[in-house]
Structure 1
Amino acid sequence: MKLRIILLLAAMLVELLLLRLGFWQLARGEEKQQALQAAAAVLQEKQAQPLADALTQLSGFTWVRGHAVFREAPLLLLDNQRRGNQVGVSVFQAADADDGRTLLVDLGWLPVQGDRQLPKPATLSGSMLLEGLLLPPPSPGLAIGPAYTAQADGSLLLMRLDQEALSKALNRPLSGRILRVDPAQRIGFARDLAVQANTLPPEKHRAYALQWFGLAAAFAVLCIGVMMRKTHANR
């Protein structure tokens, strides 16, 4: 009897875990869908706000315009970024807005060849008038291993965009959002204004949610079948 209770509790825990994973995927899908809609509304209007003012906001999407002074700091190369069928790096550089806040400017994407020879782009310097989309940084995902490794040319190869680790590396607190420069502005490298280019789209999360719910239903049916079989066997 004691063993049966233990097995029943274990089965309930597994069932709850499967359901939790399903609801988590649904929530992530809804969160990303709302982000896409918010970004689309901003990009449709492109009503530029002053960069310094927008940096006081901690989240969301804002079309901005303002001067920024590029810092003499190492370039940041975010690894494993896809553009079409190619894999490469996204290039970031730190810059100071008019109010002194430091943010990362997304300068675009460069390919990495099969021999893993990283590109060596030149840093920008001086003050520039920038326009583009202020948006949350890419999700860091699971924090496994170091956030970055220093390269021979002084740049930092990022495994993930860890704001806290990069603030320490640059000796400056960084804004919670990054600026993706308007592709029409002729600086940097290949880029667009897609906000979820290297992550799962909402529909994928919904599909995974259905899979978890399907597993939960199948597991529940299996457990009920086993219990009924044992009940008939004990009669």
Structure 2
Amino acid sequence: MAVNIGARRVLGWWLLALLVAAGFAQLGRWQLGRMHEKQAMLAAASAALDHAHPQPLLLASDPARAQGYDWAAGRGTLLAATVWLDGQQREGRVGVRQYCLLLPDDGAQALLVDAGWWPLAGSRELPQAGCPAGIGQGVRGLLAPPPTPGLAHGDALAKQDGDRWLASRMELAALAQALELRVAIAPRVLRLAPQREPGDTGVMAAPGERDLDILPNTMLPERHLGYAVQWFGLALTVLVVAATLTFRMKKKAK
């Protein structure tokens, strides 16, 4: 009877150990998947930046390229509305990103333009800068997916004074409705080139801090790899502990 009770206990330990180890291993596989996804994003963005000839802005509206990256340039009419995206970090500093809306000359949809990052003081007072509205504005930059919305809390958009809006997350359909646009907003945004050239005017000369960092507010692939190794290590540790306890129990029974 004692032997049967001991065997059942060992079996119970192993079932629990296998379940826990499988859970840890699944988390490790998820981290590896995220690592590969972000490595692919960085590779695609790098390939786009190496492209010698800019693509037309119309490519931002292509649903098949919604998650892709392309270097693009063109002209259009910039609207007066300014959207500040909250919770944006840069080199460890907290701030907001300025977004403007462009109606491209060669496009059927409005294009959201990332005009740069601005620091945010403790008072959380938004910068006084606004999008330089005007027609025939030339732009160039990287067409990229919009910032990920993250966890949804409250309204995505809140009107400030005048034509200024504060967004907690970028929901393109809600933004188009709030701004009463007659056209939809393209599924990709244009991140303006960081380098300002002598002939730049309008939004290309705007003073915000610009960059083409693809993963500004999230973990790099190396971090995901580190977490994956930790989860797989925990899975192995659980199995080693279960094997050690089983060995000790059998030795004690003898």
Please tell me the TM-score bracket, short chain as reference.
Answer: 0.7 to 0.9
Which of 3, 23, 26 lines up with 1:17 in the alignment? 23
> Counterpart of 1:208?
227
Which of 141, 162, 165 lines up with 2:150 in the alignment? 141
| RMSD of equivalent CA atoms | 2.6
SS in 1 for 2:89: strand
Residue 91 (str. 1) matches residue 102 (str. 2):
no
Q: Using the alignment, how far apart are the partners of 2:25 and 2:117 within structure 1?
A: 38
Q: Using the alignment, how far apart are the partners of 1:224 and 1:158 within structure 2?
A: 53
> Counterpart of 2:186?
175
Q: Using the alignment, how far apart are the partners of 1:198 and 1:137 within structure 2?
A: 13
Q: Using the alignment, how far apart are the partners of 1:105 and 1:188 within structure 2?
A: 14
SS in 2 for 1:45: coil
* Identity %, equivalent residues: 37
Which of 81, 85, 88 lines up with 1:81 in the alignment? 88
In 2 relative to 1, CA 218–166 (structure 1 residues): closer, same or farther, beyond 3 Å? farther
Q: In the TM superposition, what whole-angstrom CA distance separates every residue of 1:27-77 from its partner, at most 9, and x where no partner exists?
A: 11111112112211221234211111443232311111112222343x221
Aligned residues: 234
> Counterpart of 1:100?
108
Per the TM alignment, residue 112 of structure 1 is displaced from its structure 2 partner at its CA by 0.7
Gaps of 5+ in 1: none
Gaps of 5+ in 2: 197-203
SS in 2 for 1:49: coil
> Counterpart of 1:217?
236
Q: In the TM superposition, what whole-angstrom CA distance separates every residue of 1:95-136 from its partner, at most 9, and x where no partner exists?
A: 222322012110101111122222132233122121111111
> Counterpart of 1:29?
35
TM-score w.r.t. the length of structure 1 is: 0.85
CA contact (8 A) 2:61 2:186 kept: yes
Mapping 1:112-131, distance limit 5 Å: 112-127=120-135, 128-131=137-140
TM-score w.r.t. the length of structure 2 is: 0.79
Range with bigger deviation, 206-215 or 221-230:
221-230
